[in-house]
Amino acid sequence: MTTLLDGKTLSKTIQSELAEEVKVLKDQGIQPGLAVILVGDDPASQVYVGSKRKTCEKLGILSKASILPASTSQDELMAIVDQYNSDPEIHGILCQLPLPAHLDEQQVIEAIAPSKDVDCFHPENVGRVLIGMPRFLPCTPHGIVQLIKRTGIETTGKHTVILGRSDIVGKPLAAMMLQKDSGENMGCNSTVTVCHSATKNLEELCREADILVAAIGKPEFVKGHMVKEGAVVIDVGINRIDADNEKGYRLVGDVDFEEVKPRCQAITPVPGGVGPMTIAMLMYNTVSSARLS
Ligand SMILES: Nc1nc2c(c(=O)[nH]1)N[C@@H](CN(C=O)c1ccc(C(=O)N[C@@H](CCC(=O)O)C(=O)O)cc1)CN2
């Protein structure tokens, strides 16, 4: 029997825990607040920003948003970041990615005060994760580790193979899976291999994985023959492919779910796997930031 790693349900459990913590903070006179910046009209980004705002409301977190046109200039965007940096009601700031092509994402990321960088994208916070002294943990990798650990899946001594070397998922997840597990730091004591577009023996490496994480943005790339019997498969991909339905698309992951599922010990679905965990861990960071303020 394959275990379904149900991120939708686990994210609700984590949200309930956080709602309790928000109540405690409010009793102490601390109202957690998150600022979300969205530039342009990318439909998927609009969905994610909407979910972030709704989740804040549900948890009792103050949410402020700057929804800006695609024509916004770098200077205008930087001014908004500055404004939130000095806003005492705001403990977390995020700029939804990707930004329109004319804007410099890295400059925006580096302008966010590290103490309010709840995405954990600022170089200072990325560096802290790398040396095992995190202020925040990056949301998607942290969501993956929570899904694995709270299901009771062993990570110590296991071989984790990550497909994709993005700054948001592949690289920080590699650091967390590699990190020595010392109880509270979300380290996993795993042996890690990161595969990318120039990796030669990618299929062979995938077949060696005890834990296989697909984060390459290629619809249904991982096929049954690439997965070892009894592996744990984590699908980070959220790809919209054309479909003859009301929405005109359906979501598929980077894993061919039907082919891979029968071979696995456990697998995340898409939708309802890693995606909802990303938002839960963003809320976790916002509450932590308020607690630290
Ligand atoms: N500033 C950031 N930008 C982006 C991040 C991020 O963490 N910070 N990650 C992704 C987008 N993302 C959050 O922002 C995100 C992606 C997917 C989901 C999610 O819940 N997906 C659902 C399906 C939703 C749908 O219908 O499309 C699921 O998988 O079940 C949440 C957040 C890139 N940008």
* DSSP collapsed to 3 states, the chain: CCEECCHHHHHHHHHHHHHHHHHHHHHCCCCCEEEEEEECCCHHHHHHHHHHHHHHHHHCCEEEEEEECCCCCHHHHHHHHHHHHCCCCCCEEEECCCCCCCCCHHHHHHHCCHHHCCCCCCHHHHHHHHCCCCCCCCHHHHHHHHHHHHCCCCCCCCEEEEECCCCCCHHHHHHHHHCCCCCCCCCCCCEEEEECCCCCCHHHHHHCCCEEEECCCCCCCECHHHCCCCEEEEECCCEEEECCCCCCEEEECCECHHHHHHHEEEECCCCCCHHHHHHHHHHHHHHHHHHHC
286 part of a folded domain: no
User: From CA 256, how far away is CA 261, in angstroms rounded?
Assistant: 8
Please work out whether the CB of residue 11 comes within 6 Å of at least one atom of ligand 1: no
**Burial class for 207, CB neighbours closer than 10 Å (0-12, 13-18, 19+):** middle
Instruction: Tell me, in angstroms, the distance from the centre of ligand 1 to residue 201's CA.
Output: 30
| 134 confidence band (pLDDT: 50, 70, 90) | very high
pLDDT in tens, 22-50: 999 999 999 999 999 999 999 999 999 99
CA–CA distance, 97 with 146 (Å, rounded to integer): 23
55 CB under 6 A from ligand 1?
no
User: Is residue 48 in contact with ligand 1, taking CB distance under 6 Å?
Assistant: yes
Q: What is the ipTM of this complex?
A: 0.98
241 among annotated binding-site residues: no
Q: What backbone phi and psi angles, to 5 degrees, belong to 123?
A: -50, -35
Count the neighbouring beta carbons within 10 Å of the beta carbon of residue 264: 23
> Which of 52, 121, 278, when mutated, tests ligand 1's pocket best, judged by the most ligand atoms within 8 Å of its CB?
278
Q: Residue 219 sits in a domain of what CATH number?
A: 3.40.50.720
Identify the domain containing residue 210 by its residue range: 138-275
Tokens read off for 279: 């938002």
Question: Of 115, 150, 181, which residue is a domain's last?
Answer: 115
Q: Record the pTM.
A: 0.97
Query: What is the total count of domains within the chain?
Result: 2
Distance 97 CA to ligand 1 centre (A): 10
The answer to whether residue 71 is domain-embedded is yes
| 243 phi, psi to nearest 5 deg | -150, 155
Amino acid 186: pLDDT? 79
Decide: 284 and 277 in contact? Cβ < 8 Å.
Answer: no
On the question of pLDDT at 185 being above 80, the answer is no
Contact by Cβ (8 Å): 12, 279: no
158 and 225 fall within a common domain:
yes
Q: CATH number, domain at 38? A: 3.40.50.10860
Is residue 163, in this structure, part of any structural domain at all?
Answer: yes
pLDDT > 70 fraction of the chain, expressed in percent and rounded: 99
Is 109's C-beta closer than 6 angstroms to any atom of ligand 1? Answer: no
Residue 142 included in any domain? yes
**Whose CA is closest to atom 12 on ligand 1?**
48
| Claim to verify: residue 76 and residue 186 sit in the same structural domain | no
pLDDT at 108: 98
Given a cut of 80, whether residue 206 has pLDDT beyond it is: yes
Average pLDDT for 15-20: 98
Q: Are 90 and 123 in contact (CB under 8 A)?
A: no
Catalytic residue status for 52: yes
Interval 191-198 mean pLDDT: 97
Report the alpha-carbon distance of residue 98 to residue 274 in Å, rounded: 19
In-domain check, residue 60: yes
- Whether 261 and 165 share a structural domain: yes
Q: Which of 92, 36, 22, 27 is nearest to 66 (CA)?
A: 36
Whether residue 23 lies in the annotated active site: no
Quote the distance between the C-alpha of residue 233 and its chain's center.
16
